[in-house]
Each structure stands twice: as C-alpha cells, then as structure tokens.
Amino acid sequence: MAKVNFVLAVAAVGSVVVAGLLAASSLGNWMSGAYLHPTPRIHSYTVGLGLVPLPAIAWIVYLWARLRPRRPPGMLVLVAFSCVLVLVAGYCMLMSIFAALFVG
C-alpha cells in the first residue's frame, strides 16, 4: 500500500509542477532565453513539456494498481485512458525536444 501512495504522490506533485511550469510559460516567466539562437533553449515551456511523461506514467501505474475492472467496458476504458496518456506524454516529450533545439 505504501508503494501505491508513493506513486499517487509522484503523480499528484508532478502534475502540479508541470501545470505550474506551463502556466509560468504562458505568463512569460522564465522565458527570457526562449528565442536565443544558441541551442538548447532551456526555459519553463521546454522543462514543463519535458516533465509531462513522469506524472503521466505515474498516473497510469496508479490507475492500474488501484482499479480492478471486472467487466470488459471498464477494462476498455482503462486501456483507452492509458493509451491516451502515453500518446500525450510522447507528444509532449517530442515537442519539448523540438522547442529546445529547433524553435527560435
């Protein structure tokens, strides 16, 4: 049970950190080096997008550890939600790399 609570803490804290970094980038905080030519550009947007896979994977682990759907529709929803989280995490990671290395 302690491992599940740790995974929940990682998922919750990671989600708050990512949301804070992306909110800071939308407000223009820690974005001073966003448009400089030397690469890589490290700022709140790239760090926030780069951290998205950590809470996404933690949420997937937490959901699979806590939920035990007994019927096919419940299992289908859990698999679909996990697939969406993996796709979003992969997209955010690729966008983070693209924004850090090529956008400017």
Domain boundaries, the chain: 2-101
> How confident is the model over 33-86, as pLDDT tens digits?
556 666 677 788 888 999 999 999 999 999 998 888 889 998 999 999 999 999
> How confident is the model over 7-40, as pLDDT tens digits?
999 999 999 999 999 998 888 777 665 566 666 7
Specify the pLDDT at position 102.
Answer: 80
Q: Are 14 and 55 in contact (CB under 8 A)?
A: yes
**Does residue 104 surpass a pLDDT of 60?**
no
Q: What is the CA radius of gyration of the chain?
A: 16
pTM assigned to the model: 0.84
Q: Are 51 and 17 in contact (CB under 8 A)?
A: yes
The candidate with the shortest Cα–Cα distance to 94, out of 37, 53, 57, 61, is: 53
